[in-house]
């Protein structure tokens, strides 16, 4: 079929009538489909169920050094968990604090501490006239939610094929002392699947910020979430790159096993320089006696080491990969050459990013909902929920069953076609 943009008004009207009949037929089926969040499906969670057998009432719940994990102590995590998590993100155990089940919680706490008490002796952000964050877009809505919660001004920075637009980042960071941070999902970025290139990582590590307390918020959420055993992009370790650049304190790295073990019962980490960790611990001593060390021990005894994590994640990929391939196959079959959308083809992570015609994203999501398909709200991938072009839609293939996913994709492409035709007819 030729591009919709090349069709005459009569051709578009005729096609619209056909598609509307199809859409009414789909609506009549009373579908209830959900592609809104990147949640693991039940079969993925089932893969880690034998983790529950690692510990029982007869288990010796002690670290290798003899620390009783049932009791207080080891606020920064048991040594074995620090080693495992450090290996997962590619840093050293001494750079790691192990927390509870949520890395988002750590990010929120880190921004909160900066607001109320400042970072390493610098002025608390709440006492400043203006605080700004750079936000590569499209990006992760929960990041934007944290900074919006604290009233921090967010600045859009285009996310290119190899990472953020570094010319823009370098200029803004070096010229404006109010710029205190940048959000980054460096491997399989949410939602595009972009992996930051070595050059981008090094340029980030070599930033010369006007603000002494500027920090890179490095959310390495998908560091082991490869879909293909034979095609796994490698990401430079930002912490060691910052050390080499003479900026050892410039990064906070976050990660978790939320999509490795159990989404609600994993373990998480903050990785950074000794000075940043010491500053964080000073506040943690007031906040907590320590996190769940029994769960940390469970993870260590189950995965054992990085080889164990990799083997588990390849099983995980066996479930997730066909879902990504289903979405991409249907998009290719139904939309290629029509001139009404483009999409990413990630090698890992949890999302596919779809770019519709300008001004169509909200209408497409609303149209899909009419037919029983719930998707991430249009605009969610931009600060304040405002996509200036109203064109980006995040597709999350993980949660539906394979059968549901096929139907969901068909509903989606039908919605894209109908909304795009309306847009072209208005412009004709």
Cα 89 to chain center, whole Å? 15
Same structural domain, 201 and 296: yes
18 plus 150 within the same structural domain: no
Asked which of 304, 338, 371 is the last residue of a domain, the reply is: 304
Does residue 76 form part of some domain?
Answer: yes
Q: Are residues 99 and 239 in the same domain?
A: yes
Residue 203, domain CATH = 3.40.640.10
Whether residue 51 is contained in a domain is answered as no
Which among 257, 283, 304 is the end of a domain? 304
CA distance 22 to 45: 36
The count of structural domains within the chain is 2
304 pLDDT band, cuts 50/70/90, is very high
Q: Do residues 249 and 285 both lie within one domain?
A: yes
290 and 321, same structural domain? no
The whole domain housing 23 covers: 4-44+310-427
pLDDT tens digits, one per residue of 203-220: 999 999 999 999 999 999
pLDDT tens, 128-166? 999 999 999 999 999 999 999 999 999 999 999 999 999
Examine the pLDDT at 283 and tell me if it is beyond 90.
yes
156, 270: one domain: yes
Statement to judge: residues 233 and 379 lie in one domain: no
Quote the CA–CA distance of 50 and 72 in Å, as a whole number. Answer: 27
- Residue 342 preceded by cis peptide, ω within 30: no
**332 & 299 share domain:** no
For residue 57, tell me if it sits in a domain. Answer: no
pTM listed for this prediction: 0.96
Q: Are residues 321 and 338 in the same domain?
A: yes
Q: Is residue 17 part of a domain?
A: yes
Confidence of residue 428 (pLDDT cuts 50, 70, 90): confident
- For residue 307, is pLDDT > 80? yes
HEC states along the chain? CCCHHHCCHHHHHHHHHHHHHHHHHHHCCCCCEEECCCCCCHHHHHCCHHHHHCCCCCCCCECCCCCECCCCCCCCCCHHHHHHHHHHHCCCHHHEEECCCCHHHHHHHHHHHHHHHCCCCCCCHHHCCCCEEEEEECCCHHHHHHHHHCCCEEEEEEEECCEECHHHHHHHHHHCCCEEEEEECCCCCCCCCCCCCHHHHHHHHCCCCCCCCCEEEEECCCCCCECCCCCCCCCCCHHHHHHHCCCCCCEEEEEECCCCCCCCCCCEEEECCHHHHHHHHHHHHHHCCCCCHHHHHHHHHHHCCHHHHHHHHHHHHHHHHHHHHHHHHHHHHHHCCCCCEEECCCCECCCEEEEECCCCHHHHHHHHHHCCEEECCCCCCCHHHCCCCCCEEEECCCCCCHHHHHHHHHHHHHHHHHHHHHHHHHHC
Are 339 and 225 found together in one domain? no
Give pLDDT, residue 37: 87
In a domain, 153, yes or no: yes
Query: What pLDDT score was predicted for residue 406?
Result: 96
Final residue of a domain: which of 270, 304, 338? 304
Domain of residue 317, CATH code: 3.90.1150.10
Tell whether 177 and 119 lie within a shared domain: yes
In a domain, 335, yes or no: yes
Averaged pLDDT of the chain: 97
pLDDT of residue 216: 98
Same-domain check for residues 266 and 354: no
Q: Find the mean pLDDT for residues 249-259.
A: 97
Does residue 299 lie within any of the structural domains?
Answer: yes
Average of pLDDT values for 242-246?
98
In a domain, 53, yes or no: no
Tens of pLDDT along 87-115? 999 999 999 999 999 999 999 999 999 99
Both tokens assigned to 211: 């603000």
Share of the chain above pLDDT 90, in %: 99
For 185-196, what is each residue's pLDDT tens digit? 999 999 999 999
């Amino acid at each position: 079929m030729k591009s919709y943009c090349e069709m005459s008004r009569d051709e578009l009207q005729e096609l619209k009538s056909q598609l509307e009949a199809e859409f009414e037929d789909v609506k009549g089926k009373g579908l209830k489909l959900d592609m809104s969040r990147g949640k693991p499906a039940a079969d993925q969670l089932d893969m880690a169920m034998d983790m529950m057998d690692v510990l029982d009432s007869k288990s010796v719940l002690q670290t290798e050094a003899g620390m009783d994990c049932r009791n207080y102590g080891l606020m920064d995590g048991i040594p074995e968990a620090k080693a495992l998590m450090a290996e997962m993100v590619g840093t050293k155990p001494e750079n790691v604090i192990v927390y509870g089940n949520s890395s988002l919680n750590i990010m929120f706490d880190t921004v909160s501490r900066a607001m109320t008490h400042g970072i390493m002796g610098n002025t608390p952000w709440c006492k400043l006239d203006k605080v700004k964050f750079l936000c590569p877009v499209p990006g992760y809505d929960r990041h934007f939610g944290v900074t919006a919660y604290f009233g921090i001004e967010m600045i859009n920075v285009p996310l290119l094929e190899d990472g953020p637009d570094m010319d823009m980042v370098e200029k803004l960071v070096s010229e404006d002392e109010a710029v205190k941070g940048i959000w980054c999902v460096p491997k399989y970025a949410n939602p595009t699947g972009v992996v930051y290139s070595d050059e981008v990582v090094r340029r980030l590590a070599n930033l010369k910020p006007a603000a002494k307390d500027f920090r890179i918020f490095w959310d390495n959420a998908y560091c082991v979430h490869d879909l293909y055993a034979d095609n796994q992009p490698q990401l430079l370790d930002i912490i060691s790159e910052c050390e080499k650049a003479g900026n050892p304190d410039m990064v906070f790295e976050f990660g978790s096993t939320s999509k490795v073990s159990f989404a609600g019962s994993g373990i998480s980490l903050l990785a950074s320089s000794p000075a940043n960790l010491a500053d964080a611990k000073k506040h943690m001593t007031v906040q907590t006696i320590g996190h769940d060390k029994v769960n940390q021990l469970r993870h260590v005894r189950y995965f054992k080491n990085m080889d164990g994590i990799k083997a588990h994640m390849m099983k995980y990929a066996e479930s997730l990969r066909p879902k990504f391939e289903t979405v991409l196959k249907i998009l290719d079959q139904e939309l290629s050459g029509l001139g009404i959308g483009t999409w990413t083809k990630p090698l890992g992570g949890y999302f596919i990013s779809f770019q519709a015609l300008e001004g169509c994203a909200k209408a497409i999501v609303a149209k899909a909902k009419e037919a029983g398909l719930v998707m991430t709200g249009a605009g969610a991938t931009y600060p304040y929920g405002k996509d200036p072009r109203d064109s980006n839609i995040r597709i999350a293939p993980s949660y539906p069953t394979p059968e549901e996913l096929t139907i969901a994709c068909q509903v989606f492409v039908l919605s894209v076609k109908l909304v795009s035709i309306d847009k072209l007819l208005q412009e004709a």
